[in-house]
Amino acid sequence: QRLCTLRGCCWSPQSDTNVPWCFFSSNHGYRVDGGLRKTQEGFQATLTRLSSPSLFGNGINTVLLTAEYQTQNRFRFKVS
Protein backbone atom coordinates (compact mmCIF):
# COMPACT_ATOMS: atom_id res chain seq x y z
CA GLN A 1 0.00 0.00 0.00
CA ARG A 2 1.27 3.50 -0.90
CA LEU A 3 0.46 6.65 1.07
CA CYS A 4 1.56 10.14 -0.05
CA THR A 5 1.74 13.20 2.18
CA LEU A 6 0.70 16.75 1.25
CA ARG A 7 4.34 17.66 0.62
CA GLY A 8 4.71 14.87 -1.93
CA CYS A 9 6.65 12.26 0.04
CA CYS A 10 5.24 8.79 -0.60
CA TRP A 11 5.49 5.95 1.91
CA SER A 12 5.47 2.37 0.64
CA PRO A 13 6.91 -0.33 2.96
CA GLN A 14 9.06 -2.87 1.07
CA SER A 15 10.29 -6.29 2.10
CA ASP A 16 13.71 -5.51 0.56
CA THR A 17 15.71 -3.50 3.13
CA ASN A 18 17.82 -1.93 0.32
CA VAL A 19 14.78 -0.10 -1.11
CA PRO A 20 13.84 3.23 0.55
CA TRP A 21 10.37 3.24 2.04
CA CYS A 22 9.93 6.99 1.61
CA PHE A 23 10.38 8.56 -1.84
CA PHE A 24 9.13 11.37 -4.06
CA SER A 25 6.92 10.69 -7.07
CA SER A 26 8.15 11.46 -10.58
CA ASN A 27 6.10 14.70 -10.72
CA HIS A 28 8.19 16.23 -7.90
CA GLY A 29 11.39 18.26 -8.25
CA TYR A 30 12.87 19.39 -11.59
CA ARG A 31 12.77 18.33 -15.25
CA VAL A 32 15.53 18.59 -17.87
CA ASP A 33 14.67 21.15 -20.55
CA GLY A 34 16.31 20.85 -23.96
CA GLY A 35 18.21 17.66 -23.18
CA LEU A 36 21.80 17.22 -22.06
CA ARG A 37 24.49 19.30 -23.75
CA LYS A 38 27.91 17.64 -24.01
CA THR A 39 30.91 19.64 -22.89
CA GLN A 40 34.61 18.83 -23.17
CA GLU A 41 34.64 17.61 -19.55
CA GLY A 42 31.10 16.14 -19.20
CA PHE A 43 27.68 17.73 -19.76
CA GLN A 44 25.31 20.58 -18.86
CA ALA A 45 21.54 20.67 -18.50
CA THR A 46 18.96 23.34 -17.77
CA LEU A 47 16.53 22.18 -15.07
CA THR A 48 13.06 23.69 -14.61
CA ARG A 49 11.17 23.32 -11.33
CA LEU A 50 7.94 21.32 -11.49
CA SER A 51 4.83 22.81 -9.89
CA SER A 52 4.94 20.56 -6.84
CA PRO A 53 5.14 21.64 -3.18
CA SER A 54 8.63 22.58 -2.00
CA LEU A 55 10.09 21.07 1.17
CA PHE A 56 12.43 23.97 1.82
CA GLY A 57 10.42 27.11 1.10
CA ASN A 58 10.54 28.91 -2.22
CA GLY A 59 12.27 26.84 -4.88
CA ILE A 60 14.38 28.25 -7.71
CA ASN A 61 12.49 28.01 -11.00
CA THR A 62 15.43 27.48 -13.36
CA VAL A 63 18.90 26.11 -12.53
CA LEU A 64 21.92 25.02 -14.53
CA LEU A 65 23.45 21.60 -13.79
CA THR A 66 27.10 21.29 -14.82
CA ALA A 67 28.77 17.89 -14.53
CA GLU A 68 32.42 16.90 -15.02
CA TYR A 69 34.17 13.55 -15.15
CA GLN A 70 37.35 14.73 -13.39
CA THR A 71 39.06 11.36 -12.93
CA GLN A 72 38.07 7.72 -13.28
CA ASN A 73 36.94 7.79 -9.61
CA ARG A 74 35.67 11.36 -9.26
CA PHE A 75 32.51 12.95 -10.69
CA ARG A 76 31.84 16.63 -9.90
CA PHE A 77 28.49 18.35 -10.29
CA LYS A 78 27.49 21.96 -9.70
CA VAL A 79 24.00 23.45 -9.49
CA SER A 80 23.82 27.20 -10.14
Mean confidence (pLDDT) of the chain:
82
**DSSP letter string, 11-80:** E---SSTTS-SEEE-TTSSEEEEEEEEE-SSEEEEEEEE-SS--SSSSPPSEEEEEEEEEETTEEEEEE-
Q: What is the pLDDT of residue 3?
A: 67
Q: How confident is the model at residue 22 (pLDDT cuts 50, 70, 90)?
A: confident
Q: What is the pLDDT of residue 48?
A: 94
Inform me whether the pLDDT recorded for 60 exceeds 60: yes
What value does the mean pLDDT take over residues 42-71? 88
Show me where the domains of the chain are located: 1-79
- More confident site: 19 or 6: 19
Which pTM was predicted?
0.66
